[in-house]
Amino acid sequence: MQVLDDLWIRIAVWFRGLLESFLPPWAVQLTMDVLGILLLIVLGIVVVLAFTYMERKVIARVGDRIGPNRAGPFGIFQAIADAIKMLTKEDVTPTNADRWLFLAAPIVVIIPAVLLYAVLPFGRGMVGVDLNIAVVFVVAMGGIPILTMLMAGWASNNKYALLGAFRTVAQLISYEVPMVVALLTVVLLAGTMSTVGIVEAQASFPFALVTPVAFVVYMLAGLAELNRTPFDLLEADSEIVAGYFIEYSGMKFAMFFLAEYINLFMVAGMITTLFLAGWQWPILPSWLWFLIKVVVVIFLMMWIRATFPRFRIDQMLGFAWKALVPVSLVNLFLVALVAKVLEPGWARTGVLFVSNLALLAGAIAIMAQVARKREERARAAGEAAIKRYYGSEVR
Amino acid sequence: MSLPQILFLVVGVITLGAAVAVVTSRNVLHSAFLLALTFFGVAVLYVLLDTPYLAAAQVLVYIGAISVLIIFAIMLSRKVAAPHLVQRNSQWLLSLIVAVLLFGVLAYLTLQAAWPAAKQALGVDAIGGLGEAFVGTYALPFEVVSVVLLVALVGAIIIARER
């Protein structure tokens, strides 16, 4: 088991020894660094191939269909066939597009996505850089896609693309607030902003159990940041066709697609790291645990996508500001207070778990009350309108 | 030349080039995106100086917030987003004088400053010290700034509210 646990580290050490036998030290370091970066980028592409297939299969199953089943056994080569199709498609630039920005957007979109992998702990001792401000780094890099989407949306010279970009900004900026507050809750509990430190702080209890509210808020905000259903209104097919990347084709479109799935893995990885104890948990090797948890989180997201309809834009913004932000702020105060009073252990976890559930239940009850009131008001207004039209008697 | 020095030169040239292009570009939106590139270059310089927190804050505030705000404002004002905008108006002489004066003052200060350097590397936990200073020594200014920002936020919402 120990051998399996250290498998990748052992391979790295062995490879380093091999290089050292014929290269000077600085060249060894440079080769290892470049290889590490390449490995993360290749991982990104593998992730895309694997999860597009998984997504299509899962959504097909939920919809009582079979999904891709032609290319290879069970259709597992479907993603590769798609990739070849993308690569061979014609590369079109709209006549009145802003040539430079149009070209730059798909390149810039991939950079923050891959950069984020640097702070993700894939297993025990398997992290690109153990930054002591990793959480701030993640939040900072999360802001760059807003810029790229505006870039793509404006450069395309297409009203649907621009509308999609505007929706994105409203959505991403709104959901960044509850996301950061949920992150802050975790940082408060772990006492560190390093991703490695946060995983180690969950040795006894995963933070999803300690503070379920932060977990739920982060998950929802993560879905919004990924622009996945029910928050996919920046690419709402029936309204604005495809959103900010409508004019892109071929490899340029593939870059956006790539970035989307790399980000999906990243958000699932962050949820695993922050709330599900990362690579911890016994028996299986650490990197396998990490992978299993990430796949489970991604499956959850696909399940949500296959189940829920899309929000309207006012509902989406209202949900962020009127539901998620207050709930996460109350939770932050709650956690700060309890963490100050009680020592880490069973008592603290129990108190936080119960109070969090109460908070969640209270928030849902208030929301249901508000929704019921609104519905009643709408019905009364409707009835009044009918009365005005038909006279006193309603037929 | 060591690797960090080469990196510094490359990043410095890109940053300065982008900064010059911000001013000379005829398309306001190009200027805004190049400004974001300039901010990113500065963030990379912070990384080269071993201050990752400053770099992350730079990206978060200047690219994630300020650049997006600038670009959004430009896009919402239709006429300004048109390419090949005239860059001058009747007040160009006045702004030239102010710009030259500002440049003079900054250049003078840059040349006059002693630029003291720390003798040893900063500790890994420099960020912890920063946090403690915020809630300890500088608690009052920190709180005042927070309240001012909050008031500005609420004020903006009240002004923007119709009716």
Nearest to A146 among B33, B68, B124 (CB): B68
At residue A123, φ and ψ (nearest 5 deg) are -175, -175
For residue A388, what pLDDT is reported? 82
- If phi > 0 it is left, if psi is from -120 to 50 it is alpha, else beta; for residue A74 that is left
Are B64 and A144 in contact (CB < 8 Å)? yes
Chain B: closest CA distance from residue A144 (Å): 6
**Least confident span in A106-115, A118-127, B54-63, B153-162:** A118-127
What does pLDDT average to over chain A?
A: 83
- DSSP result, B95-128: HHHHHHHHHHHHHHHHHH------SSPPPTTHHH
Higher pLDDT, A296 or B80: A296
**Least confident span in A51-60, A90-99, A259-268, B15-24:** A90-99
3-state helix, strand, coil in chain B (%, to 5): 75, 0, 25
Q: A237: pLDDT confidence band, cut at 50, 70 and 90?
A: low
Mean pLDDT within A385-393: 76
pLDDT of residue A393 exceeding 80, the answer is: no
Q: Which two tokens stand for residue A90?
A: 């014609």
- Domains of chain B from N-terminus onward: 3-82+124-160 (1.20.120.1200)
Are A131 and B75 in contact (CB < 8 Å)? no
What does pLDDT average to over chain B?
A: 84
For residue B78, what pLDDT is reported? 64
For residue B108, what pLDDT is reported? 93
Q: Which two tokens stand for residue A244?
A: 């900010």
pLDDT of residue B102 exceeding 90, the answer is: yes
Higher pLDDT, B129 or B147: B147
Q: What is the DSSP letter of B27?
A: S
Model confidence over B17-63: pLDDT tens digits?
A: 999 988 888 778 888 889 989 999 999 888 888 788 888 888 888 98
ipTM: 0.79
Q: B99: pLDDT confidence band, cut at 50, 70 and 90?
A: very high
* Helix residue ranges, H only, chain A: 2-5, 7-20, 25-62, 78-88, 99-116, 134-142, 144-155, 159-190, 195-200, 207-210, 212-225, 237-240, 250-275, 286-307, 313-318, 325-341, 346-390
Q: B122: pLDDT confidence band, cut at 50, 70 and 90?
A: low
For residue A392, what pLDDT is reported? 63
pLDDT of residue A45 exceeding 80, the answer is: yes
Q: B150: pLDDT confidence band, cut at 50, 70 and 90?
A: very high
pTM across the whole model = 0.84
Q: A213: pLDDT confidence band, cut at 50, 70 and 90?
A: confident
Q: B100: pLDDT confidence band, cut at 50, 70 and 90?
A: very high
Nearest to B59 among A132, A143, A150 (CB): A143
Q: Which residues of B touch A133 (CB under 8 A)?
A: 52-53, 56, 127
Q: A79: pLDDT confidence band, cut at 50, 70 and 90?
A: confident
Chain A: closest CA distance from residue B63 (Å): 7
Q: Which residues of A touch B27 (CB under 8 A)?
A: 98
- DSSP result, B139-162: HHHHHHHHHHHHHHHHHHHHHHS-
Are A101 and B33 in contact (CB < 8 Å)? yes
Are A154 and B64 in contact (CB < 8 Å)? no
Model confidence over A255-303: pLDDT tens digits?
A: 888 888 888 888 898 898 888 887 877 777 778 888 888 899 999 888 8
Domain ranges for chain A, please list them.
2-341
Residue B47 CB-density burial (10 A; 0-12 exposed, 13-18 middle, 19+ buried): middle
